[in-house]
């Protein structure tokens, strides 16, 4: 299990996550530098975001599996016309990542250079004044 790098982002999060029974363990672990995905204890499927039931076999009772944070950019886009809530961030890049463990997710790109498809990337913890989010940047 790797501890992710923390990137300080001044100011509050544009939209704080809604914490649920399923997501609370994820956010607690992320605040400690660990990115975890849901793990089905019956069939072994890894999935994100956190769920109460396995999307493959339907089993109830998902566990947690820490991931390395290593990823590859599957797709990327730059948002120029952002929704009002995120307008202060614009333009900003979003990426679809394939994690080394086989899970695909979407997140904000915080790297200095624009993201490119098939680029190696890594997850990071974005430490805002009011809490954490996650993002990605170039691996290096």
- State residue 90's pLDDT score: 84
Angle at 127 between CA 123 and CA 130, to 5 degrees: 140
Query: What is the separation of C-alpha 105 from the centre of its chain, rounded to a whole number of angstroms?
Result: 7
Q: What is the CA radius of gyration of the chain?
A: 15
- State residue 1's pLDDT score: 57
Mean pLDDT of 114-135: 97
The answer to whether the beta carbons of residues 116 and 73 sit under 8 Å apart is yes
The answer to whether the beta carbons of residues 135 and 111 sit under 8 Å apart is no
Dist. CA 99–CA 68, nearest whole Å: 8
- Judged by average pLDDT, the poorest of 34-43, 79-88, 94-103 is 79-88
pTM score, whole prediction = 0.92
- The answer on pLDDT for 9 being more than 70 is yes
- The answer on pLDDT for 139 being more than 60 is yes
Dist. CA 52–CA 24, nearest whole Å: 12
% of the chain residues with pLDDT over 90 = 83
Four-residue CA torsion sign, 113, 116, 118, 122? positive
Average pLDDT for the chain: 94
- The answer on pLDDT for 30 being more than 80 is yes
Q: Measured in Å, how far apart are the chain's first and last C-alpha atoms? A: 18
């Amino acid at each position: 299990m790797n501890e992710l790098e923390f990137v300080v982002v001044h100011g509050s999060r544009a939209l704080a996550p809604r914490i649920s029974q399923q997501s609370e363990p994820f956010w607690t672990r992320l605040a400690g530098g660990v990115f975890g995905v849901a793990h089905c204890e019956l069939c072994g499927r890894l999935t994100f975001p956190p769920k109460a039931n396995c999307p493959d076999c339907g089993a109830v009772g998902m566990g947690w599996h820490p991931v390395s944070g290593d990823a590859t950019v599957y797709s990327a886009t730059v948002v120029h016309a952002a929704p009002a809530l995120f307008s202060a961030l614009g333009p900003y890049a979003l990426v679809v990542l394939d994690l080394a463990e086989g899970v695909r997710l979407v997140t904000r790109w915080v790297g200095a250079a624009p993201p490119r498809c098939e680029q190696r990337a890594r997850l990071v913890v974005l430490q805002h004044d009011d809490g954490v989010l996650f993002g990605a940047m170039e691996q290096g």
